[in-house]
Amino acid sequence: MTSKIIDRIRQSRRVPLFIDGAFVDSDTADWIELNNPATQEVIAQVPVATGQEMDRAIGSAKVAFKQWRDVPTVQRVRCLLRYQALLKEHQQEIATVLAEETGKTFADAMGDVWRGIEVVEHGCGMTTHMMGETAENVASNIDTHSYVHPIGVCAGITPFNFPAMIPLWMYPLAVACGNAFVLKPSEQDPLTPTMLAELFVEAGFPSGLLQVIHGDKRQVDAILDHPDIKAISFVGSVPVAQYVYRRGADNLKRVQAMAGAKNHMVVMPDADKERVVSALVGSSCGAAGQRCMAISVAVLVGESTRGWVSDIKTALAGIRPGAPGDENAAYGPLINRKSCDRVREIIAGAAGEGADVLLDGSDCVVEGYPDGNWVGPTLFDNVTTNMRVYQEEIFGPALCLMHVDTLEEAIDLINANPYGNGTSIFTKSGAAARKYQHDTEVGQVGINLPIPVPAPFFSFTGSKNSFFGDLHAYGKQAVRFYTETKTVLSRWPEDDVPDGPDMTINMA
């Protein structure tokens, strides 16, 4: 497939809005430059949607919802089945565009798209997820029924690091539940969501169910304040997540705000060293460390594990970043210059805080791409909790090593951390693993696997400062987030049964 909308963007050098089922050029005078992270080449200009365009998009969604909410769930699911088939058919084309605008390796981009497709597949079972409950004779001649209804126009505000997966966490489930949706993707990689919208149209969904608008904080505020938006899903940094949650809640909206993390992996002395080293390399540097489930801290338990530091260093030193077309690259560039400069600043200050900088990726160079946002694999040892490299989410290909004597110390360390997205333990002891999964105050726990992201029929359950809200993304909780429950009580006394010919309640 040649994407018509991507061809149009490459010719005009401008990204359109998607309003009322059509790609439209914005009337804005304010544009954001979209750069290739590996070359700094300008890919296109991204519009900052006007207030009128925002109102038009939300108004169109409101009109579409009033018709879509009464469409039988099974018919909604048929559209979603066509959509997931189209996403699978065009996965490679989407991944190619995704890799260009994010800098991800092609393999990583394919994974980004696929993890989103899995959520769409989960949504294809919405016919059973939308079932209510019933109880007969809760009191004399009184029956009770509960029904699940869509709530209205929902919105999603998504980050740059997974421009396919995270939008697909949101609007397919919301629409399958009977809602309409307004998506505000990251202005740093809007082409992928644009392709997703193009296939949404091809799948046969009615016009207006999905709107895609672009911009910055002004468009986010418009979503948070607009009275016709009933629920908001957000993924991003902790400060912005807190802002979105507070402002959305102040406007009496439902909000689920998924935020940043500082994920620890505990290594017990009985763990398989080769598996540990391999897991640490992939989970710390994969996607250039730009993911909220990255393992950024390894907690080595016991004296014997100190000897593993040299193995971890050797393995990390053996990988390198590269452009999306480089099949030997472990990961790509950081998303932009600002992010790259911040990571380099944190690395530069680590030694002064007392950390041992075993690998410094600040001066990384990739041949043929002198202007890329490159940071090489970076390793800090003897990190303590008062250091910036520990306290902040670095969001780069960097790993901190810490040392404790016991599992109890490791658990105390993790529970004292303000974040609670994910954690893991590598051990051969079932007792140690059980204690760890029970005692750690973290939303998602992995045992002998580094990144415990659940399958879509479970929910993504970050906690503490990694999540603000009550109902999490995808799984059963997402269905509850995008729906409302109506309960009906009915009484039909038997003495009201009509008498006379052909009016009997007895079966013939």
Q: How confident is the model at residue 173 (pLDDT cuts 50, 70, 90)?
A: very high
Among residues 172, 167, 164, 88, which one has the least CA distance to residue 125?
172
pLDDT at 495: 77
pLDDT at 497: 73
Distance CA 454, CA 54 (A): 34
pLDDT at 463: 96
* Catalytic residue ranges: 292
Average pLDDT over residues 301-316: 97
What does the pLDDT look like over 48-92, one tens digit per residue?
Answer: 999 999 999 999 999 999 999 999 999 999 999 999 999 999 999
What does the pLDDT look like over 120-139, one tens digit per residue?
Answer: 999 999 999 999 999 999 98
Cβ 105 vs Cβ 328: under 8 Å: no
Q: How confident is the model at residue 248 (pLDDT cuts 50, 70, 90)?
A: very high
pLDDT at 223: 98
Instruction: Say whether pLDDT at 192 is over 90.
Output: yes
385: which 2 tokens?
A: 């909790």
Q: How confident is the model at residue 2 (pLDDT cuts 50, 70, 90)?
A: confident
Cβ 241 vs Cβ 259: under 8 Å: yes
pLDDT at 507: 53
Could you tell me the domains of the chain? 4-259+466-488 (3.40.605.10), 263-447 (3.40.309.10)
**Cα dist from 501 to 493, 498, 506, whole Å:** 20, 10, 12
Among residues 297, 298, 308, which one has the least CA distance to residue 270?
308
Distance CA 283, CA 280 (A): 5
The DSSP result for 132-183, as a single string, is -EEEEEEETTEEEEEEEEE-SEEEEE--SS-TTHHHHHHHHHHHHTT-EEEE
Whole-structure pTM value: 0.95
Share of the chain above pLDDT 90, in %: 95
**Cα dist from 4 to 197, 210, 365, whole Å:** 12, 18, 36
Instruction: Say whether pLDDT at 242 is over 60.
Output: yes
Which of the pair, 457 or 504, is modelled with greater confidence? Answer: 457
Q: How confident is the model at residue 386 (pLDDT cuts 50, 70, 90)?
A: very high
**What DSSP element (H or E) covers 429?**
none
> Positive or negative, the Cα torsion across 83, 85, 88, 89?
negative
Distance CA 205, CA 211 (A): 12
pLDDT at 178: 98
pLDDT at 496: 73
Instruction: Say whether pLDDT at 435 is over 60.
Output: yes
pLDDT at 440: 98
pLDDT at 217: 97
72 Cβ neighbours under 8 A, 6+ residues apart: none
